Structure 1
Amino acid sequence: MVEILSTLSMDIDTLRAALLFPLADGEVVSEEVMQESVGKSVVTLIHGCGTWPLSAS
């Protein structure tokens, strides 16, 4: 997905969210760790994809 988005000249946060989405979807990394690592804007984009244990939010 990152390869496709990069051809569309997406911003860096969107590319980060696309790259890290599988980790969030598979619950490999907690939301807190992700937010500390890449920031709230990337976590917000990941939430916008309709994943992460949204029941926790």
Structure 2
Amino acid sequence: MQSRFVLGGMAAVPEGDGTRFAFFGALRIPGVRLIDRALHPLVDPLGAKALKRFTDQLE
């Protein structure tokens, strides 16, 4: 799903005796592409840190 300012989606697939479900949501902010290169060095380490915390919880 998408609108001018919001993106969203979901999916479900069978897995064993259950179901794997995933969803995402994001904001589409006008002008972000213009400043993406400036923000990327700041945001990338935060994303990597959050992903590491998540994968650590799975173990």
TM-score, with normalisation over the residues of structure 1? 0.24
Which structure is richer in relative contact order (CA contacts within 8 A, separation 6 or more)? 1
Q: Which has the higher helix share?
A: 1
Of Structure 1 and Structure 2, which has the larger fraction of its residues in strand?
A: 2
Larger Rg, first or second structure (1 or 2) = 2
